[in-house]
Amino acid sequence: MRLLVAGIVCVLLALSFPGIDSRVVKKFTNCSELFFKEKPPVIPGILEKSEPQIAGFRVICQKYKNKIRFATLYNTTGKIPVFSAYKYTGTNHFKRLQTPNVWMTELQLEPLSAADMHEPFAKQARHEDYLIKNSLNYFPGTLFPTSHAADEDTAQSAYTLTNCVPEKKGFREGMWNLVENEIKVNMDNNCRDNNNRTVAYVLTGVIPGKDTLNKRVNVPSRMWTAFCCYNNATASWVSQTYNAATNMYYNNSNIALKSLEYLQTILRDKWGKKLELFNKNCT
């Protein structure tokens, strides 16, 4: 991920550094350690055997400062992620980051070609999409949240538009902020491996909606998050999930801890009966 200062300049710079490590990859096998049992979700007809099945979906092993921090399945048509995946290992104390004025983008999603002209940012959101002044008033909300990052560099890596979806301020600072805080507490309390280390495998994603931002970026109708981890106190694998409609604001009573099967039922209505978030359903 690199800061986008000027689109054309960055494209030329990318072409001048062919040795830069790849992040947009063919399969999630390049960052499989971020997934439960190293198996990414199965989304029928979209993501199977760690690989996108149709055009319009790309796999990104999100790399920042020479280290893979999290992973994303990205929808280049809707210009939002389907989900981001990360391994939660607890958080160290570091100075809270300020939301950046300019967000990072993924240059490898650009159709680079010396022979053809093309529309810039044809396959991803751009910062200007979120600056459009209209009645919608959306701003970028991260799927992999900075509050779940193990260190400052990992938190900084979350500020890429390939990890973001349009959200209303009331949802991000109200409902979903409560969800992120509550799931963090649950992981800290319940996720311990046999060496008593905090470890959990987390997926956070969206269900696309009918509206678009700037006639380009899909606005999700629902957000969801789920984790799978080992609880050494009970010697068992456990999973917990949350989901919420994006029009819910500041209402703690709407936060519901649900089973993995409950969430998968909702997602299967969208993507098919064979959908599976965690290999063998986290058992």
d(CA 260, CA 229): 12
pLDDT mean over 38-49: 96
Q: Specify the pLDDT at position 33.
A: 96
pLDDT at 2: 46
Burial 106-119 (b: 16+ CB within 10 A, else e): bbbbbeeeeeeeee
pLDDT on residue 18: 31
- pLDDT at 14 > cutoff 50: no
pLDDT higher than threshold 80 for residue 124 = yes
The Cα 135–Cα 126 span in angstroms is: 19
pLDDT at 96: 77
Q: What mean pLDDT comes out for the span 22-30?
A: 83
Does residue 139 have a pLDDT over 70?
yes
pLDDT at 268 over 60: yes
pLDDT of residue 75: 97
CA torsion, points 73, 78, 80, 81, in degrees to nearest 10?
Answer: -20
Strands 138-142 and 80-88: unpaired
| DSSP per-residue codes, 208-221 | --S-EETTTEE--S
pLDDT for residue 260: 95
Confidence check: pLDDT of 174 > 60: yes
CATH of 2-281, one of 3.40.50.10260, 3.40.570.10, 3.90.550.10, 3.30.930.10: 3.40.570.10
Distance CA 155, CA 258 (A): 27
Asked if pLDDT for residue 99 goes beyond 90, the answer is: no
Cut 0.85: pTM above it: yes
Express each pLDDT in 51-86 by its tens digit: 999 999 999 999 999 999 999 999 999 999 999 999
- Ranking 107-116, 198-207, 267-276 by mean pLDDT, the lowest is 107-116
How confident is residue 8, by pLDDT bands cut at 50, 70 and 90? very low
Q: Which pLDDT belongs to residue 250? A: 65
Tell me the DSSP string of the chain: -EE-S-HHHHHHHHHT-TTSPP-EES-GGGGGGGSGGG---BBTTTEETTEE-STTEEEEEEEETTEEEEEEEEETTTTEEEEEEEEE------PPPPPPSS-EE-GGGS---SS----TTSSS--GGGGG--STT-EEEEESS-GGG-SSHHHHHHT-BGGGEEEEEHHIIIIIHHHHHHHHHHHHHHH-B-TTS---EEEEEEEE--S-EETTTEE--SEEEEEEEEEETTTTEEEEEEEEEETT--S-GGG---B-HHHHHHHHHHHH-TT-BSSGGGT-
Write out pLDDT tens, residues 183-237. Answer: 999 999 999 999 999 999 999 999 999 999 989 999 999 999 999 999 999 999 9
Mean pLDDT of 97-108: 85
81: left (phi over 0), alpha (psi -120 to 50) or beta: beta
Q: What would the mean pLDDT of 235-255 be, rounded to a whole number?
A: 82
11-37: average pLDDT: 67
Give the mean pLDDT of the chain. 86
